Structure 1
Amino acid sequence: MAEEINVRPVFPFTSIVGQEEMKLALILNVIDPKIGGVMIMGDRGTGKSTTVRALVDLLPEIEVVTNDQFNSDPYDMELMSDSVRDMVKTNADIPTTKIKIPMVDLPLGATEDRVCGTIDIEKALTEGIKAFEPGLLAKANRGILYVDEVNLLDDHLVDVLLDSAASGWNTVEREGISICHPARFILVGSGNPEEGELRPQLLDRFGMHAQIGTVREPDLRVKIVEQRALFDQNPKEFRDKCLTDQQKLMKQIVDARQQLKEVNIDYDLRLKISEICSELNVDGLRGDMVTNRAAKALVAFEGRSEVTPKDIYTIITLCLRHRLRKDPLETIDSGVKVQEVFNRAFGYD
């Protein structure tokens, strides 16, 4: 984790105090990107963007095809652009390099062309070549796409992002010309609930939903302020002190990715998850699938191979709270409701 010259130093992930729910949701999505991303809702100034950037900084480098606009994986056909696939088919020599996992910030005022990319029709017609100007989805391939204030983003754009995140591909069509490229990324959205919620059908498509609030304990607040002051004073020294913890966590995440395929979840536990989703009137099966995946990712993260009821309890609120139908007269918090139904299903009343 050597410091790069002229790169703004990033606050270390392991030094972020509190906000355990948000940190866990992000880590589990990194272990298994198929969980489907994270929606982080919370007050202003609670470290949402700081935490996302800290996680990206923590992760190991990835191998990409040199000078490829889509961060193509030199070995995985599903993560290759068409030009790299052609090179593989002809057994051409593919030069590679290592880069930090990309993190792309999507600005609120972004247009669809800026997000998806554009086709140069003039070049296509006059020179007969598919001239494609990649957008933010191309840059985010194999990385993290972060949308701050996602609840203020145009619904149509949110739909485009969620479609690409779910399918792993982005297709741009114009005047009968179609270009498709890999766009497999972890979508992280954040927002302030005071500024409005996403529409339920969009919210449901985020794998997990973390709620964070301002830290209330005076001693923790003092610790956060002190740590930030120390970091601002001498970022390199502060990061050096955290290096061992950072490397330990990075290894834990890398090992968990390898361990994930060995993790087992008993049929009885899967049945209980579906019972809970059914009792909560969760539409569709996305809630069942995400809860299963998140429980397995948590077990892998802790270096085990069997999912327990405790693992499910740890993650089920993150996976289901945003999928409940909102009753305007309901006073109970949706997270509490999920936990109550869990306790009934497992006989913990």
Structure 2
Amino acid sequence: MTQPFPFSAIVGQDEMKQAMILTAIDPGIGGVLVFGDRGTGKSTAVRALAALLPPIRVVAGCPVNSPTPDKCPDWAHIAQHDIVERPTPVVDLPLGVTEDRVVGALDIEKALTSGEKAFEPGLLARANRGYLYIDEVNLLEDHIVDLLLDVAQSGENVVEREGLSIRHPARFVLVGSGNPEEGELRPQLLDRFGMSVEVTSPKDIDTRIEVIRRRDAYEMDYEGFMSHWREQDAALRDRIVTARGKLPAMETPEEVLRDCAELCLALGSDGLRGELTLLRTSRALAAFEGAEKVGREHVRKVAPSALRHRLRRDPLDEAGSTTRVARVVEEVLA
């Protein structure tokens, strides 16, 4: 079976790759929103990262990827309790998808053939402990957006309909991509993403040539190309696993907390989600870089990704959100 394009072989797009790696280290960051031109590697990156990550251990046959038999939902009726390894799931949520397809619904076939009232799991069940990827997220229907907001907040999918009363865990990294020219994202959903990155087509000829060269090699000499990049992906996987282990003991000095609060206050971001996300992303970056504690340099590196989508619009300031964040970072963390 053809493997996804290697994560390490993606040319450029450093901020997007960093954001993806940080969510792999700490899924609690809250996902990534990637806005930019078509054909800039947005969907390639999320599939490549999932393929890069270590497999997850699940109960064989469990529809929600439960790690142990006691966590399997009763409605799944799992008789065997064998533990198997599976790749980290990546589930696509297509535009125009129905609510039943997302949350699950009554299994009509069983109801008609045997009169049994059974639950047919939806996309949220499959995405548990993995990634839920939404392309053109800014075109998603409002009622699906509201549903995702509820599940993302609680980490649990609740289905109360057609005589069914079902609950199951639904914890996933939400990755959305889109083209800003095709419409804006609702503020409620925008704020749920931990990080936001902007990607553009490369402007210099050498970078564009390298993109073409690697993609052509992947398609024309698949085995040779994958063999060449396998070692780099393995090294990156080891760094992610090591960073996950370091995360709980990572020291966070008081001055870093103050930096996070002062940045968000100076930018005028609503609520406290900005500070919390900035802290978690800084901590994950420090763990990834092998630091013993979180420092101001880590806050500086992740501030644009963590804060650019949380800014209020300022009609008197024509600068883009990235420029505004960079300007405030220089003022506050000078």
Is 1:100 matched up with 2:99? no
Query: SS of the counterpart of 2:96?
Result: coil
Correspondence 1:1-349 to 2 at 5 A: 7-74=1-68, 80-83=71-74, 94-120=81-107, 131-175=118-162, 177-346=164-333, 348=334
Aligned-residue CA RMSD in angstroms?
A: 2.3
Indicate if the aligned counterparts of 1:72 and 1:84 stay in contact, CA closer than 8 A: no
Q: Tell me the CA shift for residue 84 of structure 1.
A: 9.3
Query: SS of the counterpart of 1:222?
Result: helix
Which residue number corresponds to residue 4 of structure 1?
Answer: none
CA distance in 2, matches of 1:177, 1:117: 10
Which residue identity is paired with 1:32?
Answer: D
Which residue identity is paired with 2:245?
Answer: Q
User: Which residues of structure 1 form unaligned runs of 5+?
Assistant: 1-6
CA deviations over 1:82-134 (Å, ceiling 9, x no partner): 239998xxxx972111111111011112101001100359978x999761100
Which residue identity is paired with 1:8?
Answer: T
Q: Tell me the CA shift for residue 165 of structure 1.
A: 2.6
The normalised TM-score by structure 2 is 0.94
Q: 1:132 to 1:224 in 2, by over 3 A?
A: same
Q: 1:222 to 1:181 in 2, by over 3 A?
A: same
CA distance in 2, matches of 1:121, 1:17: 47
Q: Tell me the CA shift for residue 339 of structure 1.
A: 2.0
Indicate if the aligned counterparts of 2:32 and 2:197 stay in contact, CA closer than 8 A: yes
Which residue identity is paired with 1:151?
Answer: N
Which residue identity is paired with 2:73?
Answer: D
CA distance in 1, matches of 2:63, 2:104: 12
Q: Would you identify which runs of 4 or more consecutive aligned residues in structure 1 move more than 4 Å?
A: 84-87, 120-124, 126-130
CA distance in 2, matches of 1:197, 1:161: 17
| Mean Cα deviation higher: 143-152 or 169-178 | 169-178
User: Which residues of structure 2 form unaligned runs of 5+?
Assistant: none
